[in-house]
Amino acid sequence: MISHVSHKQTIFWQLVRFGIIGVLASCWHFCMVYLFVSKQLSEPLIANIFAFFSAFLISYLGHSLWTFNDKTHTHKTAVRKFFLVALVGFIFNEGGYYLLLTLTSLNYMSALIIVLLIVPLITFVLSKYWAFS
């Protein structure tokens, strides 16, 4: 029973840490898209690609060193797996963003917020149970 409670607490704190790192990476992502589009350096979908991959570094370092820092993963293996997780996240991110931009009347920032709230749930599960396991 004690180990069961401990496991639940570990998952809870991993979710909290994942959320904090995710918010930091998402804020970076959001600001990069805004900057590229508002300065007319790029269209929203292209800006989203650059922003997503630049946020990858924040995500990987934060999750590897803090969220899932249980010392059972090696960086060499974890970075490859987490990159694949990021690619899956990117596919959902860019695909969802594209669909929201083309099928709804939402502006690009509202659509981006929706995507940035949904995709992290997918990446948490993949990160916890595969990339950093």
Which positions ≥6 away from 22 have C-beta within 8 Å?
A: 59, 120, 123, 124
The residue-averaged pLDDT of 124-128 equals 86
pLDDT at residue number 1: 46
pLDDT band at 3; cut points 50, 70, 90: low
User: What's the rounded Cα separation, in Å, for the pair 28 and 54?
Assistant: 8
Q: Give tens-digit pLDDT for 51-107.
A: 988 998 899 899 888 988 866 667 778 888 888 988 888 899 889 999 999 999 999
Residue 34 belongs to what domain range?
Answer: 2-131
pLDDT band at 127; cut points 50, 70, 90: confident
User: What's the rounded Cα separation, in Å, for the pair 123 and 64?
Assistant: 13
How much is the pTM? 0.72
User: What's the rounded Cα separation, in Å, for the pair 23 and 29?
Assistant: 9
Number of structural domains in the chain? 1
